[in-house]
Amino acid sequence: MLSRILYILIALTMVTAVPATSHARELIVSAAASLTDAFSDIEPAFEAQHPGVNVIMNFASSGALYRQIQQGAPVDVYASANPKWMKKAVSKGFADESAVVVFARNSLVLATPKDNPANVTSVDDLKGNGVQSIGIGTPETVPAGQYAKEALDTMELYDALTTKMIYAESVRQVLDYLSRGEVDCGFVYRTDAVKADDTVSIITEIPLKAPVSYPIASLKNAEESKLAEDFVAFVQSEAGIKLLEGRGFKKP
């Protein structure tokens, strides 16, 4: 009788232990901050097509994400808001050039808080005394800031405006500054400004030498290499494109 009870207890222990040892496969995706909404939509859609897979999203500026990869952070998929950081990932051996694909486009705009307290109507107004603070992503690490600096350099305005600039760690931080009225104006992506339509106003689109392009790639050291490739393919699929367009992104 005692041996039977022990057998039952052991069997129950084994049954209850099964769920603890079985867990979802994890796919780690590091994506530019401006992709937060779009990839938050893509995440559950991809998981629905891949039962048992848990996609872990890591959002930050493209430069900060690259540095995480450089320092050995576990990443399966990397999506950047400009080619610069993806080229670094390729040149340093973290990704194969053949695995890189541009999957979306965006545009850069000059925006203000909704009530536009500084009465900004154009980029030229940034030189006036009415504008005291300009939100911009740190050009060295934030693609939106890099695009803005290049455009302002072309207009021969960047150096003259640096004393007014409030630097941010990501384009979403600039958007937060605008939404809270903490800066007179700022440079953000159109998709971000549209998202915050109730608190932010778009003044003008900034002309760029090349459109804002988003490359994506599965990384060489991905622990889930096949899943990483599947995710990249899903982003380019009809379903993925529809979700991206729903957040204001354009096809490349």
Which carries the bigger pLDDT value, residue 18 or residue 1?
Answer: 1
Mean pLDDT along residues 113-126: 97
Residue labelled with tokens 């530019």: 32
pLDDT, residue 210, reads 87
pLDDT tens figures, 199-229: 999 999 999 998 899 999 999 999 999 999 9
Q: What is the pLDDT of residues 226-245, one digit of tens each?
A: 999 999 999 999 999 999 99
Residues in CB range of 125: below 8 A, 6 or more apart = 118, 119, 131
Q: Listing from the earlier edge strand, what are the strands of the sheet with 53-60?
A: 53-60, 25-32, 77-79, 212-218, 101-106
- Of the chain, the percentage scoring pLDDT greater than 70 comes to 91
Domains and CATH numbers, the chain: 2-105+212-246 (3.40.190.10), 108-205 (3.40.190.10)
What average pLDDT does the chain have?
A: 91
CA distance 142 to 58: 15
Binding region for molybdate: 34, 62, 144, 171, 189
Q: What is the pLDDT of residue 241?
A: 96
The gap from C-alpha 17 to its chain's centroid, in whole angstroms, comes to: 38
Residues annotated within the binding site are 34, 62, 144, 171, 189
Residue 18: what pLDDT?
A: 38
Q: What is the dihedral of CA 116, 118, 122, 127, to 10 degrees?
A: -160
Q: What are phi and psi of 215, to 5 degrees?
A: -90, 150
Q: What is the pTM of this model?
A: 0.80
Torsion sign across C-alpha atoms 33, 138, 191, 238? negative
pLDDT band at 195 (very low <50, low <70, confident <90, very high): confident
- The pLDDT assigned to 9 comes to 40
Show Cβ contacts of residue 11 under 8 Å, excluding neighbours closer than 6 positions: none
For 169-191, the pLDDT digits (tens) are 999 999 999 999 999 999 999 99
pLDDT digits (tens, 9 = 90+) for 122-151: 999 999 999 999 999 999 999 999 999 999
Which of these ranges, 6-10, 36-40, 68-72, has the smallest mean pLDDT? Answer: 6-10
What lies within 8 Å, CB to CB, of 62 at 6+ separation is: 32, 80, 81, 82, 84, 85, 141, 142, 143
Q: Name the phi and psi angles at 81, rounded to 5.
A: -90, 5
Give pLDDT, residue 100: 98
